[in-house]
Amino acid sequence: MQVNLTNKVVLVTGASRGIGKAIAEVLGEAGASVAVHCNSNLEPAQKLAAAIGHNSKAFQADLGDAKAAEELLNAVLSHYGHLDILINNAGIAISSDMKMNGEQWLQDWSKTMAVNLTAPALLCRLAIPHFIERKEGIIINISSRAAFRGDTADYLAYAASKGGLVALTKSIARAYGKQGITAFGVAPGFTKTEMAQDFIDAYGEDYAIKDIALTELTEPVDVAHTVCFLASGLAKHATGATIDINAGSYVR
């Protein structure tokens, strides 16, 4: 089935690399105009937007700053005039040893929550009135298998933030379905991205493959195709659901 997103405007946060980049590229292949968000370095996002075409454009915002999140959405709306789909993909994973200084641990926790949960919540809150006015809108939040199976002690904040994102998605789906808004989650497992490369370099790809049911690691494009299908509007009766893309490493 060929997904057609022509004339659809999509904001993808954290789109300059990894899963976000793959999502932006696949949506672009389906004809969407993509607002390509990046945290700091604008040049890769600009190159990606130019490659995608369809009036795609790069936007920079530090999502650790609540005001910046609001400014991002306003900038996208100002440029395009409307938004059809919001994809909250941007996220960070900070390793915080439980034995580290308590103040530093709390700073890591707060930063993780700000980017992984507060920013998506703010963007959803700001997009929802716009979607209500247009009588339609799709929200897709990229969480993690860690939301369901947990993570190591060093990544308590990461797992907790992604669990919160799942609950946020369900709540939006239940609250706004009758106003034309659907909300979905996608929970990747270990995915072969730049962020995961340090782990692969340290332990080897074979070590990571032992944890999954398939013979190869999940690639960003594997996640992107699922996101594209959800963005198509063809899965509206799955609103509130989170789709697992983890190569069978955690089966609910």
What residues are annotated to the active site?
A: 158
The CA-CA-CA angle for residues 165, 169, 171, to 5°, reads: 115
248 in Cβ contact with 212 (< 8 Å): yes
Radius of gyration of the chain (CA): 17
The CA-CA-CA angle for residues 30, 17, 235, to 5°, reads: 40
Helices within the chain (DSSP H only):
18-29, 42-52, 66-80, 102-113, 119-134, 146-149, 156-176, 194-203, 205-209, 220-231
Say how far apart CA 10 and CA 87 lie, in whole Å: 7
